[in-house]
Amino acid sequence: MRISLFITCYNDTLFPDTGKAVVRVLERLGHTVVFPAGQTCCGQMHYNTGYQKEAMPLLERFVAQFRDADAVVVPSSSCVAMMKDHYPKMAEEIGRPDLIRDVAELLPKIFEFSELLTRRLGLDDVGAYYPHRVTYHASCHGLRNLNLGDGPLRLLKAVRGIDLVPIANVEQCCGFGGTFAVKNAEVSSAMLAEKTTAVLNTGAEACTACDNSCLMHIQGALHRQRTGVRTIHLAEILASTEEGRA
Amino acid sequence: MSLQPLDPRTAEIFPMAARHLLGDTQLRKNVRHATDVIQNKRRIVVDEMPDWQELRESGKRLREHTMQHLREYLEQFERNCTAAGGVVHWARDAAEARQIVVSLAKSAGAKEVIKIKSMTTEEIQLNPALAAAGIRPYETDLAELIIQLGHDQPSHIVVPALHKNRQQIREIFRREMNLPDLGPSPQDLADAARLFLREKFLTVPTAVSGANFLIAETGGVCVVESEGNGRMCLTLPDTLITIAGIDKVIPRYEDLGVLLQLLPRSATGERMNPYNSIWTGVHPGDGPKAFHVILMDNARTSILADAEGRQTLNCIRCGACQNACPVYRQTGGHAYGSVYAGPIGAILTPQLMQMEHAQSLPYASSLCGACYEVCPVKINIPEVLIHLRNKVVKEKSWADPEAIALKTVASIFRSERRFRAAQRLGRIAERPLVRKDGQGDGWISWLPGLLGGWTQVRDLQSMPKESFREWWEKRAETKGGSDV
């Protein structure tokens, strides 16, 4: 299948290894990955902070870039949730009939990375090898907005060599929340303290998730405290094989 | 602790208030414990319901229908309540509502009133108004009594003293009831409260209540509670004054069949409230001889006029969103500067203030969605929060630093060329801040300005040498690009 990658602005800039891992997994599975060059950002930060007007052109740009895609993969559940929850309403507000139609046709073809594997491609085992103790953080948008359910866990369980340990209070937010982390830094820090405690209590050496935004937040505290626990995007675990790490 | 009444017009902004409260280790332990207990109870009685999601949907549709026909149902309630011997009063705002209650209490000759727990009376700061008119209010709900005797303020809409633990409550009772030998067990505390209140029930002939529901079809009023103290207030006095927001009306008696399943399970984790009181007008020889209902607007019609904000009025005040909210669970309720705390407070309070105050509240959320998930009438609180954030942003000056920053970033995202340039510039700009520590490429542990909130407890990994798109293009150039 020809799969278009929407890398997202922050993965492009800060976490290119996640993008490389997505490409590696999908090509290993025999698919062709394309990368529309004009893509930038889905508009989530602006929309969720109250800058709806600024998010509108970003919706138009996204649709123009991906309109003709067969399937779109996005290694970020919060960006996918942004599109699924808000794009139809935003398109209505812009009021262009062609845009409203394009959004309606495009949305069902957009998948968060783990969702693409489990729901669109029907896979649990993608042939990965990762001999480490790992815990999975279910990001809020993946859990509640996309209803990813046990999809990501099924993918992880099929990884050879992995020692997967459950985290306490898996449904609890890590406290990132986009601009919340700086606008309400103190409360965000308090929430993060609970999450890092839960991560440390698992004894895992790595915490994984479908969202680098949560992971950047969790990793920020794990590193500040020199805990010796790292974070890694799910795609990077799945890209790892006995022959080589992503 | 002595607190001024919670007033959004004078309250500190949420991040500042939260900062102070986060330092109160006792409060945080109490709130964490209490919300855990209630959430666990709720989970058990919700999970046992095979049709919980259908019930939520029914509750939502019922509330939406009511709001669409609010005027008719309110008028129907007025007619039926009046026919049953009640007196209906209309109040435009808090001041009018206070004035009506005070004048009714005065004309009943009251020097004291007993009160049922009512967030609406807290919303309008009724107690200070009664006191100013020489009428002493006695709270009879156990939690509200703790708050009143402790010179405190409610921090939760269902469990107002949730931020106090048993030892603290014992201290308040010992001091305020003059009981130096009071024991520490729940039984000791309940006995002390019972003795204290029983005398009031038997001697004070005027009561003030709120309402959970106003039944349009019958003109009846419904109050649910766990202690029976409410039942005392509703039945023993000669005069009963009920104050309710106009959003409390429901069309039919049988609608309680849905709402009285959703409410107790969501609120206290009970299958049914121990006391469900419904009364309709007055009846000779039974209960109060005079019954007044004040139907108060206080900005509710302005909320109703806003298509995206109006679902806020569907709230049935169960407090489940507060217990589930990871922000509320850290700060407790006082940080919200309003009697309506937590997620529902973050959307209700700014709208009650017509967006002139409490503008920091829509941002007091990580948008995690836990509130929406537990809401028994499916209020999409994150959606309303975002809507209200947009209203806040629209009022911002062009010179606001946050607005300038976000508009600049938006203009970068509108162009691939500018985005690439910004990525390159970022790598240069961060250089003076990056420290190598042998773990990865390098880390930033201090950031300036607004971003400094991030680095107070978190590090940030430095930017990689190459963006994904740069790697992708290089790979395409090297042809085939088989080695990923």
**pLDDT tens per residue, range B110-166:** 999 999 999 999 999 999 999 999 999 999 999 999 999 999 999 999 999 999 999
pLDDT mean over B265-292: 96
Alpha-carbon distances, residue B186 vs B143, B159, B163, B192, B194 (angstroms): 13, 16, 16, 10, 12
Closest by CA to A43, choosing from A7, A2, A9, A6, is A9
Q: Is pLDDT of B2 > 60?
A: no
**Cβ–Cβ gap B410/A40 under 8 Å:** no
Instruction: Indicate whether B223 and B205 sit together in one domain.
Output: yes
Alpha-carbon distance A239 to A33, whole Å?
15
Q: Return the exposure string of B405-433: e unless at least 16 CB atoms fall within 10 Å of the residue's CB, then b.
A: ebbebbebbbebeebbebbeeebeeeeeb
| B57 phi-psi bin (left φ>0, alpha ψ -120 to 50, beta other) | alpha
> Residue B483: what pLDDT?
47
Instruction: Indicate whether B169 and B296 sit together in one domain.
Output: yes
**pLDDT tens per residue, range B32-89:** 999 999 999 999 999 999 999 999 999 999 999 999 999 999 999 999 999 999 999 9
Chain A residues close to B21, C-beta within 8 Å: none
Q: Is pLDDT of B108 > 80?
A: yes
- DSSP string of B283-337, one letter each residue: BTTBS-SEEEEEEE-TTHHHHHT-TTTGGGGG-----HHHHH-TTHHHH-SGGGS
Q: Is pLDDT of B376 > 90?
A: yes
3-state secondary structure string across B377-414? CCCCHHHHHHHHHHHHHHCCCCCCHHHHHHHHHHHHHC
On average, the pLDDT of chain B sits at 95
Q: Is pLDDT of A142 > 70?
A: yes
On whether residue B379 sits in a domain, the answer given is no
pLDDT mean over A20-27: 98
**pLDDT tens per residue, range B158-213:** 999 999 999 999 999 999 999 999 999 999 999 999 999 999 999 999 999 999 99
Domain ranges of chain A: 2-120, 133-239
**Domains A2-120 and A133-239 belong to one CATH topology:** no
Instruction: Indicate whether B466 and B414 sit together in one domain.
Output: no
On whether residue B3 sits in a domain, the answer given is no
> Residue B4: what pLDDT?
84
On average, the pLDDT of chain A sits at 97
Instruction: Indicate whether B415 and B469 sit together in one domain.
Output: no
Q: Is pLDDT of A246 > 80?
A: no
Among the candidates B302, B336, B356, a domain finishes at: B302
Q: Is pLDDT of B440 > 80?
A: no
Closest partner residue to A7 (CB to CB) among B19, B363, B468 is: B468
Closest partner residue to A51 (CB to CB) among B368, B406, B464 is: B406
pLDDT mean over B446-453: 90
Task: Flag whether residue A11 sits within 8 Å of chain B, measured between CB atoms.
Answer: yes
On whether residue B330 sits in a domain, the answer given is no
Domain of residue B462 covers: 433-484
Contact B382, B312 (CB under 8 A): no
Q: Strand order of the sheet with strand B239-245?
A: B87-91, B290-296, B239-245, B206-209, B112-115, B136-139
Alpha-carbon distance A63 to A104, whole Å?
11
Alpha-carbon distance B94 to B90, whole Å?
11
Instruction: Indicate whether B184 and B57 sit together in one domain.
Output: yes
**pLDDT tens per residue, range A54-83:** 999 999 999 999 999 999 999 999 999 999
On whether residue B366 sits in a domain, the answer given is no
Q: Quick count: other Cβ atoms within 10 Å of Cβ A169? A: 12
> Looking at CA atoms only, how far is residue A102 from chain B in angstroms?
19
> Residue A245: what pLDDT?
60
Q: Any idea how long chain A is?
A: 246
Among the candidates B286, B302, B318, a domain finishes at: B302
> Residue A243: what pLDDT?
86
Report domain A2-120's class.
mainly alpha
Chain A residues close to B22, C-beta within 8 Å: 186-187, 190
Contact B294, B101 (CB under 8 A): yes
Q: Strand order of the sheet with strand B275-279?
A: B249-250, B213-215, B220-225, B275-279
Instruction: Indicate whether B127 and B146 sit together in one domain.
Output: yes
Tell me the ipTM for this assembly.
0.97
> Residue B110: what pLDDT?
95
Instruction: Indicate whether B402 and B483 sit together in one domain.
Output: no
Alpha-carbon distance B445 to B434, whole Å?
8
Q: Is pLDDT of A244 > 90?
A: no
CATH (one of 3.30.70, 2.60.40, 1.10.3470, 3.40.50) for A133-239: 3.40.50
User: For chain B, how far is it from start to end, CA to CA, in angstroms?
Assistant: 62
Q: Is pLDDT of A12 > 80?
A: yes
Q: Quick count: other Cβ atoms within 10 Å of Cβ B350? A: 27
On whether residue B92 sits in a domain, the answer given is yes
Our CA angle for B282, B286, B197, nearest 5°, is 105
> Residue B449: what pLDDT?
86
Beta-bridged to residue A232, according to DSSP, are A208
Number of domains in chain B: 3
Q: Is pLDDT of B441 > 90?
A: no
Alpha-carbon distance B312 to B272, whole Å?
25
Chain B residues close to A178, C-beta within 8 Å: 366-367
Q: Is pLDDT of B330 > 80?
A: yes
On whether residue B391 sits in a domain, the answer given is no
On whether residue B222 sits in a domain, the answer given is yes
> Residue B439: what pLDDT?
59
Instruction: Indicate whether B182 and B225 sit together in one domain.
Output: yes
pLDDT mean over B381-393: 98
**pLDDT tens per residue, range A94-134:** 999 999 999 999 999 999 999 999 999 999 999 999 999 99
Instruction: Indicate whether B418 and B477 sit together in one domain.
Output: no
Residues 140-169 of A with CB under 8 A from B: 140-141, 144-145
> Residue B484: what pLDDT?
46
Which CATH number do you get for residue B71? 3.40.50.10420
Show the tokens assigned to A171. 């449904």
